[in-house]
Amino acid sequence: MKFFLDTAHIEEVKELIETGLVDGITTNPSLIAASGRDFKKVIAEMCELVAGPVSAEVAALDHPTMLKEGRHLAKIAPNVAVKVPLTLDGLKTCRVLSDEGIMVNVTLCFSAGQALLAAKAGATFISPFIGRLDDIGHDGMQLIEEICLIYNNYPDIETEILAASIRNPLHVIAAAQAGAHVATIPPKVVHQLLKHPLTDNGIATFVKDWEKTGQKIINKK
């Protein structure tokens, strides 16, 4: 499974990129608004930090303007994935951009039917929103499973399932078990995945026992 960071904060990316865990980045208007920074500058900086896809979302809702914005965003860097909403106009835009060789992330997917349409429109990524479905009493992970089942039935589908709206480590694990190609994860959830009390306890024990030996691996000169 590939890990994308769901963030618009450069420092969060820099902190985690050295681990080799970051395969790409997703942003959205809400994340950009929270960062308080210029949208295109953030995207350009992100694209320099990671070799993988960086999702940049269009703001328009009509096809002609979406297409103009998408082409403009794609010029920022070769690894920009233009993000469009799962609407008829969004799918029209997806088709054109995809045919032009531009990566497209179709976002705000809430049904398997929508995911099938996005694949037919040539989407590079489909972004089903797990957490938002959970919020209204639906099983978000069931959607991931349904899309995986459908896509696996057709080997010619190249669209990657990008599990989005991830709220906790269990979402990541369940998405991986279901077969999602990518999980886009808030940095805080990456840190939650990393932590375990038994790991912390084990480290504390090893440090204590090592100190008892009085040894040093590297002696200071």
User: Quick check: is 12 in a domain?
Assistant: yes
Alpha-carbon distance of 114 to 120, in angstroms, equals 10
Query: SS3 breakdown of the chain: % helix, strand, coil, rounded to 5?
Result: 50, 20, 30
To the query of whether residue 68 is one of the catalytic residues in this protein, the response is: no
Instruction: Please identify which of the residues 75, 83, 92, 221 carries the catalytic annotation.
Output: 83
User: Quick check: is 123 in a domain?
Assistant: yes
User: Quick check: is 206 in a domain?
Assistant: no
Query: Tokens 């030996």 map to which residue?
Result: 213
**Counted domains in the chain:** 1
**Cβ neighbours of 133 (radius 10 Å):** 20
User: Quick check: is 219 in a domain?
Assistant: no
Alpha-carbon distance of 80 to 102, in angstroms, equals 8
Where in the sequence is the domain holding 86, given as residue range(s)?
A: 2-195
pTM exceeds cut of 0.85? yes
User: Quick check: is 32 in a domain?
Assistant: yes
pLDDT tens digit at each of 221 positions of the chain: 999 999 999 999 999 999 999 999 999 889 999 888 999 999 999 999 999 999 999 999 999 999 999 999 999 999 999 999 999 999 999 999 999 999 999 999 999 999 999 999 999 999 999 999 999 999 999 999 999 999 999 999 999 999 999 999 999 999 999 999 999 999 999 999 999 999 999 999 999 999 999 999 998 76
User: Quick check: is 47 in a domain?
Assistant: yes
Alpha-carbon distance of 59 to 56, in angstroms, equals 10
In one-letter notation, the amino acid at residue 151 is: Y
What are the residues facing 106 on neighbouring strands? 84, 126
Alpha-carbon distance of 85 to 58, in angstroms, equals 8
Question: 175: domain CATH number?
Answer: 3.20.20.70
User: Quick check: is 209 in a domain?
Assistant: no
DSSP 6: E
Residues 6+ apart with CB under 8 A from 82: 55, 56, 57, 58, 70, 73, 74, 93, 97, 102, 103, 104, 105
Give me the sign of the Cα torsion angle 147, 153, 154, 158: positive
